[in-house]
């Protein structure tokens, strides 16, 4: 009986060693797969940048991806700066492969790292940059109150030297447009 148990032990050891080797190889192959997927995404982005038919420069080319409510909202915002934020032109995607390692599901959509709304001021230089993140809230948004208090407390020199970035973490473009309109009007 002892002889039988002794013969089983080396098999289990060998099996465990084989499993460990297979897991290591699988991890290596997965990393190669991710690297090739990132390469493919980079090539797609280069093609996307060079292909004028994909470039979003006119409202006519973006109407297809907007709901009728958003199109109506944009028509009502004609002449406002906030309406120009949907024309993201050829904004380049973030080219940081580390993001794909953390969030590999983003590789499925080439536009996942390109904002659907981006409005930029003409300011070229600033001494102070303040970032304000916000999300859609069910009851009340504190963004306008925060901006009002922040701007009111800045002296004139700081107002000229400060750039305020607002990140709206929301996929609902209608909400983003309403916030942009509210910021511009207030």
pLDDT tens digits along 69-114: 777 777 777 767 666 666 655 555 556 667 777 777 777 776 677 7
pLDDT digits (tens, 9 = 90+) for 136-146: 888 888 899 99
Instruction: Provide the 3-class DSSP secondary structure of residue 69.
Output: helix
Task: Provide the pLDDT for residue 76.
Answer: 72
Cβ-Cβ contacts under 8 Å for 123 (sequence gap 6 or more): 163
∠ at Cα 99 (94, 102), nearest 5°? Answer: 165
Question: Is the whole-model pTM more than 0.85?
Answer: no
Instruction: Provide the 3-class DSSP secondary structure of residue 46.
Output: helix
The two tokens of residue 71 are: 């199109």
Nearest to 127 by CA among 172, 164, 92, 153: 164
pLDDT digits (tens, 9 = 90+) for 40-66: 877 876 776 665 444 444 433 444 467
| Domain-wise residue ranges, the chain | 1-115, 121-186
């Amino acid at each position: 009986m002892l002889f039988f148990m002794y013969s089983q032990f080396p098999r289990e050891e060998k099996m465990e060693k084989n499993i460990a080797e297979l897991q290591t190889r699988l991890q290596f192959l997965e990393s190669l797969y991710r690297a090739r997927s990132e390469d493919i995404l980079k090539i797609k982005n280069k093609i996307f940048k060079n292909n004028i038919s994909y470039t979003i420069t006119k409202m006519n080319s973006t109407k297809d991806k907007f709901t009728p409510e958003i199109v109506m909202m944009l028509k009502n915002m004609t002449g406002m700066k906030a309406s120009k934020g949907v024309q993201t032109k050829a904004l380049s995607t973030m080219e940081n492969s580390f993001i794909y390692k953390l969030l590999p599901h983003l590789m499925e959509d080439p536009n996942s790292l390109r904002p659907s709304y981006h409005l930029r001021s003409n300011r070229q230089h600033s001494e102070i940059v303040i970032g304000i993140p916000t999300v859609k809230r069910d009851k009340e948004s504190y963004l306008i109150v925060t901006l009002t208090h922040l701007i009111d407390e800045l002296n004139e020199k700081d107002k000229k030297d400060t750039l305020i970035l607002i990140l709206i973490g929301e996929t609902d473009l209608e909400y983003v447009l309403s916030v942009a309109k509210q910021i511009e009007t207030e």
